[in-house]
Chain A
Amino acid sequence: MNTGKIEVHEVTRVEGHGNIVLNVKEGKIEELRLEITESPRFFEAMLIGRKWYEATHLTCRICGICSIGHSSASINALENGLGIVPSEQTMKLRHVIHAGETLQSHLLHVYFLAAPDLLGVPSVFPLVETHADVVKRALRLKRLANDICCDIVGRHIHACSFRVKAFPKLPSKETLASLRDRLVAALPDLQATVELIASLKLPDFERETEYLALYHPDEYAMYTGQVIRSTRGTETPLYDYKHKIQEYVVPHSHAKHAESEFGAYMVGALARFNNNYEQLRPEAKEAAETMGLKPICYNPFMNNVAQIVECVHCALVAVDELNDLLDMDLQEEDLTVPVKACRCVGASEVPRGTLYHEYNLDSEGFITSANLIIPTAQNLNNLEHDMHGLVPQILDQEPDNIRQALEMLVRAYDPCISCATHLLEVKFV
């Protein structure tokens, strides 16, 4: 396509509303951007004047898919600020539900949102006829992932009892054993997923960029980590996150963009894989090898593959944590939280990347201000750079192919656009 315009109004099979605009004249890109059109909801304003104990249930409603992720970051922030150290049993239960959400989100994305492109269909619905076993497997795995959350905290979308300090009601040992057994029984389904993805051809595109992820000394950081690690070699303490990450406004987007001192960067499964590969389970590393992924990978389409690697890893982590919990004497815990004025900063590796929550509390525990940095908002800058890198390589193709490639690139990031639009701060210069 030498001269022409491609506009994708409301990209399908992504969470939230966004448009792709490409305008080419005589082989030169005049315009290329992803417009975020999702309506802002003003969470930063909503949080002011709410009590600390409302923060988690409010912010988890930023997103339906990564609700548990928001809860995790919120709880981590409040516990960091208020000086609360949760018990071992609480942390193990949290790792299990966090793994449940990671599994649910990644499997939804790969099977329902991304795979249709790779199988040449417009959605998962035609696959119900042509690939019935694949669809049933996807539903089975997703149901298990949701049950991990439902059985422990009531729901996956907007957890009922996931809160600061401890769980108000403990799951029974029977419940935990049942989840453990179902996870073990699901491992062949995950292996089948690995083999399916290994058999599909992903686009071949690379662009060198920086990858950021949280780091935890004892584990592949998912629930939380207190250090921000970069493939460029920097390590930043969590409370100094604003020294590493700057957000700024972009006119065509209801969501801010972000950059580090090196420019655009990516977060998410591929970023975690690139930074913390060494800490993955051996089985997860094997899955990566089967699917042709090794660190450091600069192909954003391989984010889909990294997500399946994480599914294998998280399922095994959840099994181990459940086995530990079954051996422990689980105790009901006191839920009292002493409140004081403080700056609360927390983070979690949610399915799409690093999520930061910051609140300032007054002495009565009312929130006076808040700042939230969303993984997808951090990725938008890098995504646009990738679009600018990809288009010249495919400009000689038919417009439909170019359109398809751009949509697939956006989907590869697994954007969560409702999340990214939660708040908007504008400075016109």
Chain B
Amino acid sequence: MKPRVAVFSFTSCEGCSLAILECENELLDVINLVDFVRWREAMTETSDEIDIAFVDGSISTHEDVRKLREIREMSKMLIALGACAHDTCITGIKNRFGMSQVKEIVYGPDGAQFDTIPARPLKAVVPVDFELPGCPIDRGEFLRCVRDLVLGKKPKLPNYPVCVECKRKGNVCVFFKGMKCMGPVARAGCGALCPSFGDYCEACRGFVDNPNEESHKETLAEHGLTPQEVMNFFTLFNAYDESQI
């Protein structure tokens, strides 16, 4: 029996779910290995019997919490699909304002009645079996994950910085081009995609385990960023701070 796979989206741009459909060269092979049984964006068919649930989006409302718990109940395995599900991605920027302030900015005094809670990753609400980081997910990483799960293997993520992948590719470090970059603290696995296209890394995959944040903040400051700009670099894709929830 092929594993029964579902795809769900919470507070997100749905880009990570879409990235699955953008594995055009491999999609027919994937369908040979697994059965998609529930995927609102792509299918009308549905099911409550799920072996593997891929879930994108962060949890930002009470309704999100309730639905995620239901999904956890009906799924043997739950995989966080992409940065929003992994560490809230940009949806965590809202948290830095505080809920009453952000509702005031957008809604004015009537904001109080809207249901929004500080954005949190899936693992803050339910146990998660594996996480695929990145904004969006890396297609190769997703396909390897599916292959590993079907083979009964535990998928793995690299735990070294993007700089390693940049150097492997022979890229000229973008600091030498006058840019500032988060490569030294960002988790690799994307092939240093942004620097390979001439732009700088924004750490959309989150940080490596035990990143040397203080050292990198000094580096950015030495290269001309003001304290506010350094904070912006560190809180674009990595705003989530569980101690503040």
Contact = CB atoms under 8 A, between A and B. Distances in A.
Nearest to B135: A158
B27 A139 contact: yes
A54 interface: yes
Contact of A155 (B10, B108, B193): B193
Contacts of B102: 42, 45
A58 to B, nearest CB: 6
A379 B152 CA distance: 46
B182 to A, nearest CB: 12
B75 interface: no
B116 interface: yes
B105 A44 contact: yes
A50 interface: yes
B222 interface: no
Q: Counting chain A CB atoms within 10 Å of each CB, which of B60, B64, B93, B228 scores highest?
A: B93
B15 A142 contact: no
B229 interface: yes
Q: Counting chain A CB atoms within 10 Å of each CB, which of B22, B116, B236 scores highest?
A: B22
Assign chain A's interface to a size class. 35 or more
B105 A45 contact: yes
Contacts of B1: none
Contacts of A62: 13
A177 B27 CA distance: 27
B25 interface: yes
Interface string A53-77: 0100110011111010000000000
Nearest to A47: B93
A168 B195 CA distance: 10
Interface in B95-113: 97, 102, 105-108, 110-111
A51 B36 contact: no
A13 B41 contact: yes
Contacts of B17: 64
Q: Counting chain B CB atoms within 10 Å of each CB, which of A39, A156, A163 scores highest?
A: A39
Interface in B1-37: 9-19, 21-22, 24-25, 27-28, 31, 36
A121 B24 CA distance: 21
B136 A143 contact: no
A183 to B, nearest CB: 16
B194 A123 contact: no
Contact of B194 (A17, A40, A44, A154): A154
Contacts, number: 169
Given A46-B93, A57-B202, A154-B197, A426 B107 contact: yes
A123 B11 contact: no
Contacts of B111: 426
Interface string A19-44: 00000000000000000000111101
A41 B202 CA distance: 20
A89 to B, nearest CB: 15
A142 B61 contact: no
Contact of A39 (B93, B106, B116): B116
Given A54-B236, A423-B106, A428-B110, A122 B28 contact: no
A139 B24 contact: yes
Contacts of A108: 21
Interface stretch (B42-50, B121-129, B156-164, B210-218): B42-50
B15 A161 contact: no
Interface of A: 10, 12-17, 39-42, 44-46, 48-51, 54, 57-58, 61-65, 67, 108, 112-113, 116, 122-125, 128, 135-136, 139-140, 142-143, 146, 153-158, 160-161, 163, 167-169, 366, 418, 423-428
Given A39-B10, A143-B25, 4 more contacts: A41-B91, A64-B14, A157-B18, A426-B111
17 contacts: A17-B40, A39-B11, A39-B63, A41-B11, A41-B94, A58-B236, A61-B89, A64-B15, A64-B16, A112-B42, A113-B42, A123-B42, A139-B24, A139-B27, A154-B196, A157-B18, A427-B108
The 5 nearest A-B residue pairs measured at CB: A64-B15, A169-B198, A168-B198, A123-B43, A122-B44
Interface of B: 9-19, 21-22, 24-25, 27-28, 31, 36, 39-45, 60-61, 63-64, 89-91, 93-94, 97, 102, 105-108, 110-111, 114, 116, 135-136, 177, 193-194, 196-199, 202, 204, 228-229, 232, 236
